[in-house]
């Protein structure tokens, strides 16, 4: 059985919890870009303890039931602000494009000099891109939260919770 399964209409997570996550998304959207009200959609996943939130290629924002259950309302809104920042900055598409470009360069380089494989360099380039996207999403999330009536401290509280709860205090 897979670690995560999409919530179905008969599941508890597809009812109230999905509506609450959607309300958190709408809170940020309505305060920052009301012309896109109703565009972004919450998608809930049944899981085995994974604390996950992510954006999809389309207009979906995915949340695991474990993460949903672990967050306070303010933390949920902050997570949605972060994921909406990824959506608004087109990070998914940028990441796919960059990964494809790195792959092409890696393969072209191998044909020229087969003894030089750039795989470790590929991983470093991808990691740096992801790190920069996360920082950009954090900065945008704070901006979005302020427009919705929250503070930078609310976002920092979420990051501290992540540091302590998710990564076991080993860094964020």
- The span from the CA of 52 to the CA of 74, in Å, is 17
Residue 169's pLDDT is what?
44
pLDDT tens per residue, range 108-118: 555 555 555 55
Among candidates 133, 158, 118, 145, which has minimal Cα distance to 29?
145
pLDDT in tens, 18-75: 899 999 999 999 999 999 999 999 998 888 888 889 888 889 999 999 999 999 999 9
Quote the pLDDT of residue 56.
80
pLDDT tens-digit profile of 4-18? 677 666 666 656 888
Nearest Cα neighbor of 40 from 13, 58, 63 is 58
- pLDDT digit string (tens) for 137-171? 999 999 999 999 999 999 999 999 988 886 554 44
Structure tokens at 105: 């360069």
How many CB atoms within 10 Å of residue 114? 8
Residue 97 pLDDT class (50, 70, 90 cuts): very low
pLDDT value at residue 34:
96
Give the Cα separation of 5 and 167 in Å (integer).
Answer: 23
Averaged confidence pLDDT in the chain: 80
Question: Using an 8 Å Cβ cutoff, are 27 and 78 in contact?
Answer: no
b/e 77-101 (16+ beta carbons within 10 angstroms → b): bbbbbbbbbbbbbebbeeeeebeee
DSSP-derived secondary structure letter, 8: P
Rounded-to-integer distance, Cα 143 and Cα 114, Å: 47
For the full predicted model, state whether its pTM sits above 0.85: no
């Amino acid at each position: 059985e897979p670690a995560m399964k999409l919530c179905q209409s008969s599941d508890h997570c597809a009812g109230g919890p999905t509506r609450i996550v959607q309300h958190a998304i709408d809170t940020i959207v309505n305060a920052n870009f009301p012309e896109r009200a109703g565009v972004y959609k919450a998608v809930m996943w049944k899981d085995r303890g994974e604390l996950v939130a992510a954006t999809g290629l389309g207009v979906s924002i995915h949340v695991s039931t474990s993460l949903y259950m672990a967050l306070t309302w303010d933390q949920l809104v902050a997570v949605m602000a972060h994921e909406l920042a990824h959506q608004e900055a087109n990070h998914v598409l940028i990441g796919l494009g960059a990964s494809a470009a790195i792959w092409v360069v890696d393969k072209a380089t191998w044909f020229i000099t087969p003894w030089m494989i750039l795989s470790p360099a590929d991983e470093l380039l991808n990691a740096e891109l992801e790190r920069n996207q996360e920082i950009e999403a954090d900065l945008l999330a704070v901006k979005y939260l302020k427009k919705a009536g929250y503070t930078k401290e609310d976002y920092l509280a979420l990051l501290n919770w992540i540091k302590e709860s998710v990564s076991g205090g080993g860094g964020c």
